[in-house]
Structure 1
Amino acid sequence: MAVSSLSLSCISTPTFQKIYVPHLNGFPRIIAFSAISPISCSMERIIDEESVCKRRLLFLGVGALTTSLFPTSIASAEEIPKNYSAFVDSEDGYSYYYPSDWREFDFLAHDSAFKDRYLQLQNVRVRFIPTDKKDVCDLGPMEEVITNLVRHIYAAPNQIANIIDMQERTTDGKNYYTVEFQLTSRNFASASFATIAIGNGRYYTQIVGANDRRWRRVRNKLKVIADSFKVLDI
């Protein structure tokens, strides 16, 4: 935006906003940036106020530059479901929502992970591996791909796998497979959503899980996370 230096003097005070952006390691961090209130200008202002205006316009430029560094795919506050936050990894090319009261944690071999602060088995984690495939549909029919994943990859030898439902969706031209499944062993049972997608030369997997005894109560809450997973172009 072009701004004339001959007629501007500012009467507003900058405020500061916060936005989550990813660290280089994939986890979000908060950056504070200036958001300038509307500017009112007059030729009659004295030189000192003119100097203040120039400094504030500099803040405006910095704020605009900072905002331009964030991908347009970051959801605005009104688009994010109530009680959820957005995680956006613009470096590794994916995003999703997670409950705002969850906390990030390290999960072996995964790029990002968040968990319930009290119930650690309620969590979401994302990982990716290289692939020469271009689309998840290149892996094969959804039924075959999902069945193989659940029974031979996600399930341990001592677990019984039960596929509850599987869905295919297309978002912004990218295809996703999502499966809801249970894993049961002699002493423990869990339930999860797994979403897979391919983009950027990577095979992405997001898993959202919980203890099977709580699944009925938290399923819809966790489904929001699974449905929000997106691959971004990098």
Structure 2
Amino acid sequence: MAISSLSLSFVSNPLTNMFGMRSWTSPAETAAVSSNGITKCSRNTSYADHCTVSGNCKRRALIFGIGAMTVNSFPASPLLAEGKPKNYEAFVDKIDGYSYYYPSDWRDFDFRGHDSAFKDRYLQLQNVRLSFLPTDKTDIHDMGPMEEVVANLVTNVYSAPNQVATVLDMQEKNIEGRNYCTFEYILTSPNFARAAFATIAIGNGRYYTLIVGANERRWRKFRNQLKVVADSFRVLDI
């Protein structure tokens, strides 16, 4: 399997909300953890339909991590070459066309607006979830420069109005001809902070998003474990 990767630096140019989407969760979820704001794929909803509401998203502050974006600081995990890692399980959805690994002691749960989700048995905010939208685009680069795509996602989709978004790192990789982008970020509110990895990709006429994260207090301990999940996401041809 051919895997190539490239870490990129961000450009702090003025940004617009190219997706036109707002995040949404229950009131309790909004207070504790940011949703990725992308609803489960609907058979009668198109990517263009979501873009018609552009301009309704409130601008939020974005802070870029200083010194965090180095070429080798964000290595890809050669999961498929090595096989399923110890203490992880594989989730494969051949109908909707994707797969990823999750910690074997996690359990599945319903996360509103998502196609699949797993969480720690005892820590609900430590979880992974996958959602997708229909799109007429064929590659993530069709959405624009990845620096701007990531910045718009983190500031206008993933974060709540009272949160400050900090993008720590970003990596693009090509696996068997398909482009993926994985980025690490922190959302900070007055009383709470949450860190996460997100991986995005396009295939099968769908725009996929996988997010895996935890509260910031536990991030340092579990970051590498959660990075394995983010790196393992693959789009399957259907």
| Same-fold status (TM-score > 0.5) | yes
SS in 1 for 2:111: coil
Q: Quote the Cα distance in structure 1 between the aligned partners of 2:220 and 2:143.
A: 31
TM-score in terms of structure 1 length: 0.67
Name the count of aligned residue pairs. Answer: 159
Considering Cα pairs closer than 8 Å and 6+ residues apart, tell me whether 1 or 2 has the greater RCO: 2
1:97-152 per-residue CA deviation (whole Å, 9 max, x = no partner) reads 00001000000000000000011111000000100000111111110100111011
RMSD of aligned C-alpha atoms?
Answer: 1.2
SS in 1 for 2:138: coil
AA of the residue aligned to 1:183? L
- Find the counterpart in structure 1 of residue 177 from structure 2: 173
SS in 2 for 1:114: strand
Within the candidate set 73, 84, 91, 1:87 is matched to 91
SS in 1 for 2:118: strand
- Find the counterpart in structure 2 of residue 218 from structure 1: 222
Shift of 1:173: 1.1
- Find the counterpart in structure 2 of residue 201 from structure 1: 205
Greater Rg over alpha carbons, structure: 1
Q: Quote the Cα distance in structure 1 between the aligned partners of 2:90 and 2:200.
A: 19
State percent identity of aligned pairs.
Answer: 71
> Does residue 165 of structure 2 align to residue 147 of structure 1?
no
Q: Which runs of 5+ in 2 are unaligned?
A: 1-79
TM-score in terms of structure 2 length: 0.65
Q: Which runs of 5+ in 1 are unaligned?
A: 1-74
- Find the counterpart in structure 2 of residue 128 from structure 1: 132
Q: Quote the Cα distance in structure 1 between the aligned partners of 2:154 and 2:148.
A: 10
AA of the residue aligned to 1:122? Q
1:42-95 per-residue CA deviation (whole Å, 9 max, x = no partner) reads xxxxxxxxxxxxxxxxxxxxxxxxxxxxxxxxx79x710000000000000000
1:152-177 per-residue CA deviation (whole Å, 9 max, x = no partner) reads 11111100000000110111211011
AA of the residue aligned to 1:159? Q
